[in-house]
Amino acid sequence: MLKRRTFLVSSLAACAVPAQAATAAGLAGVLARYRDEGRAAPGIVAGVLDTSQRRIVTTGQTGGTSALDGDTVFGIASLTKVFTALLLAEMASRGEVALEDPVNRYLPAHVRVPAQKGRELRLVHLASYVSGLPGWPPNMKGLDPAKPFPAYREADLYAALNGSPLKTPPGSRYEYSNFGFGLLAHVLARRGGKSFEEMLVTRICKPLGMNSTRLKPDAAMRARLAPAHADAAKPVAPWVFPDALAGAGALYSTVNDMLNFLEGATGRRNALSQAFATLLKIRHPTDKPDTDAACGWMVSSTGGEDHAWKDGATVGYSSFAGTSLRSRDALVLLANGQCGSSFAVLGRHVLNVRFPAPT
């Protein structure tokens, strides 16, 4: 068997092609080699959008009793953040909120939202990774992949805000924060008067025809769920995010649903066009020289072409979605294994071969 580094450098670099030019067989070969040599996941499903069609490519098996296809359900982890940001933009398009609204406007009076150097924490700061909040709430128990996600309630979220000074002034510096996106989802749900899931389903999923995208899969979705794995051989119990932090990474979806989402993001569907456009209007530099943080998305420039993308990883699942801002070609990858950071590199490389292959 090839060593992982040998495969990723030689085989991927030789086989990977831009999404707009990828044949189904060529893409399947790339994904199969990544899966087999990296022991990344039992199965991977890819969805490709180009100028003429949408295609589904699968490799491997679910590790359960069903076959892989475009309707197989996966946890999409931090791809949830793009949905949370899109809900903010959708509500702003209706005039229900404004991006620059202070967070404290939508929370109970007893909650003290931190500020720094005279800068208030605003909704747009939460959505664009510049809130100054830490990655996770400081009053949450430590995360352990071998154990369930810690119990965490609304009262805990409020206590964390009351007791957490910001690391940097809001709007001043990129800091990836699950805490921030959990708070954003909570605030939007309070403003809408419904649960976060109800808001997502009525405002985003139904307009885009996403009937298999939910925080809590129903019986029909559970029947199509790809079992979670730590790697290609080890089943694992996936995390169940508490409602107070659901906006950071709790969604389940399918490649077919995510292609509907990407059709909205690329203008192939009219639904939510204003909200999708809003996500890319705000950019902040990140800790990577080629990448800015937008609302929900990351935006990277490689070989003179900009791509909006986001990856996700949680216990048992990995995800990637991205689109070229020039050609509107798009790609989604979902896997039922913990593939690590190489999965995002794989996705960016398949979407744009000028981006280096995983190493």
Q: pLDDT tens digits, residue range 199-258?
A: 999 999 999 999 999 999 999 999 999 999 998 888 999 999 999 999 999 999 999 999
d(CA 42, CA 64): 9
What is the pLDDT at residue 266?
95
The residue ranges of every structural domain in the chain are 4-78+223-237+252-351, 82-197
Is the predicted pLDDT of residue 5 greater than 70, yes or no? no
Residues 99-133 pLDDT 10s: 999 999 999 999 999 998 889 999 999 999 999 99
Q: What CATH class has 82-197?
A: alpha beta
Q: CB within 8 A of 207, min separation 6: which ones?
A: 271, 272
Residues 49-82 pLDDT 10s: 987 689 999 999 888 777 899 999 999 999 999 9
Decide: 199 and 189 in contact? Cβ < 8 Å: yes
Element (H, E) at 351: helix 342-351
Decide: 148 and 240 in contact? Cβ < 8 Å: yes
What is the pLDDT at residue 68?
95
Is the predicted pLDDT of residue 170 greater than 50, yes or no? yes
One CATH from 3.40.710.10, 1.10.287.3610, 3.30.590.10, 2.70.98.40 for 4-78+223-237+252-351? 3.40.710.10
Q: CB within 8 A of 312, min separation 6: which ones?
A: 76, 77, 78, 79, 80, 81, 249, 318, 319, 320
Strands 305-314 and 330-335, by their bridges, are unpaired
What is the pLDDT at residue 163?
80
Is the predicted pLDDT of residue 333 greater than 80, yes or no? yes
Both tokens of residue 244?
């107070």
What is the pLDDT at residue 77?
98
Is the predicted pLDDT of residue 281 greater than 70, yes or no? yes
Residue type, 239: W
Is the predicted pLDDT of residue 10 greater than 70, yes or no? no
Nearest to 34 by CA among 64, 54, 9, 68: 9
d(CA 137, CA 179): 6
Span 327-347, average pLDDT: 94
d(CA 329, CA 307): 10
4-78+223-237+252-351 and 82-197 share one CATH topology? Answer: yes
Chain-centre distance for alpha carbon 320: 7
C-alpha separations of 29 from 14, 74, 312 in Å: 11, 21, 23
Please report, rounded to a whole number, the percentage of residues in the chain having pLDDT higher than 90.
77
Question: Confidence class of residue 22 from pLDDT cuts 50, 70 and 90?
Answer: low
What is this structure's pTM? 0.93
What is the pLDDT at residue 326?
92
Decide: 229 and 191 in contact? Cβ < 8 Å: no
d(CA 81, CA 180): 10
d(CA 153, CA 339): 29
What is the pLDDT at residue 26?
84
Span 35-46, average pLDDT: 88
Is the predicted pLDDT of residue 14 greater than 80, yes or no? no
